[in-house]
Amino acid sequence: MVLEGSSEALYPPPSLELRPSCNKSQPSPPLGSGSQPHDSFYQGDKEQVKYGELIVLGYNGSLANGDKGRRRSRLALYKRPKANGVKPDIIHNISTPLVSKALSNKSQHSISYTLSRSHSVIVEYTHDPTTDMFQIGRSTESMIDFVVTDTTPSGQGAAGEGGQSAQSTISRYACRIICERSPPYTTRIYAAGFDSSNNIFLGERAAKWRTSDGLMDGLTTNGVLVMHPAGEFVAEPAPGVWREISVCGNVYALRETRSAQQRGKLVENESNTLQDGSLIDLCGATLLWRTPAGLRRTPTLKQLESLRQELNAARPQCPVGFNTLAFPSLAQREIVDKKQPWVYMNCGHVHGYHNWGFRKEKGGGAGGGGGSLAATSERECPMCRRVGPYVPLWLGCEGGLYLDAGPPTHAFCPCGHVCSEKTVQGWSQIPLPHGTHAFHAACPFCGTWLTGEQGYVKLIFQGPLD
């Protein structure tokens, strides 16, 4: 391994052909050229080959202002009519005056590594007819297939009404996903995406190095982290280890902090191949990758509506007021209904809303979520006298976040999102990145950090007395 600053890094051979078999007379098409419109990425044509779906954690099925175009909470990746993938072709070691000329060819994809003011390495990429490329980032430019903005625990965008956050930590060109067009449709992730000039630029301050085989690699400023599940995501959910993915798709241990200059150690026995349940963190938003096979084991929106109706058909009652409770429709979110069930988080007893039983808490609220009536202090359960947060219950609406299609019997603490037992158990074990070096388990539906011993509670309903 040769690091930046060494004589070997500064004086390599002037050029190196990476793939002699590549047809260099065929220029790389601009990203998206000859491909289907962005809208068809998420329109469900059943005859198309679906590679998988990306789901942004924290939005419970839809952005606060609705899914619009490429800015949405969930995106399905389909096989394109024509391949737009690219692969490394030739590496050039050049002086800075030649850099602008090398990067001015917008029909040529390239990655440039600035090693010093007088020396850069540019890797040209050529068209790959065997792969499709999809790009993710904060930028709304046309080459970005999936526009992702910062997620806050409430599920609202960081900038409110659909705008961009001035202090966003998500890169404009965060990462790219490469899908093989032939079975088994292997999908891989790479840090950084190509910009409007079809270039990825790693400046002097970016972490970069020369690899043992003479090629270049590097990391983006805040990094792209990936965690593959330790086993099969839906069979025996267990978290894996968070790793960082490089620009060339290699796997590294995490840096000391998110944007540290020194990279982590190379993890040779792991890969950048996404599998069902792989998590992708872009430093501001976390995405879940679900394969078509995995999605077939999760509830559809129609099935979730059936589960809601089954819950309501059982006519659960408030054990104190004896009024019948009912979960609101899936379309009604964050507006508390009069019949909505509420739960005491420390015991799981389900009640209707009542305005008594307060136990004042030093310094304020219980944190919960989902409505203007949410508790701002601790409450004492009239059934068992346990004191804790008292919040409204909401059915998890994003089926892709479920680990099975089991009955909604449990709720995350302290937000009150309801789903299956297997789902709460699985997500409560997963530490999600927060900030530069912290990790917390969180509700996948709203992003709220989990509290309590387990992070969830089993719901105790009282049936009708008649």
Which residue did the predictor score with more confidence, 465 or 449? 449
Tens digit of pLDDT for each residue in 261-306? 899 999 999 999 999 999 999 999 999 999 999 999 999 999 999 9
| Strand, helix or coil for residue 292 | helix
What's the whole-model pTM score? 0.83
Instruction: Give dist(CA 115, CA 204) in Å, integer.
Output: 6
Q: What does the pLDDT average to over 50-72?
A: 87
| Distances from the Cα of 452 to the Cα of 37, 428, 432, 455, 456, angstroms | 46, 11, 17, 5, 7
- At residue 165 the predicted structure's pLDDT band, cuts being 50, 70 and 90, is very low
Position 73 pLDDT exceeds 80: yes
Q: What integer pLDDT is reported at residue 360 of this predicted model?
A: 56
Q: Which of 64-68, 431-435, 442-446 is predicted with the least confidence, judged by mean pLDDT?
A: 64-68
Which residue did the predictor score with more confidence, 123 or 361? 123
| Strand, helix or coil for residue 457 | strand
- Asked whether the beta carbons of 111 and 199 are under 8 A apart, the reply is yes
Pairing of strands 342-344, 390-392: antiparallel
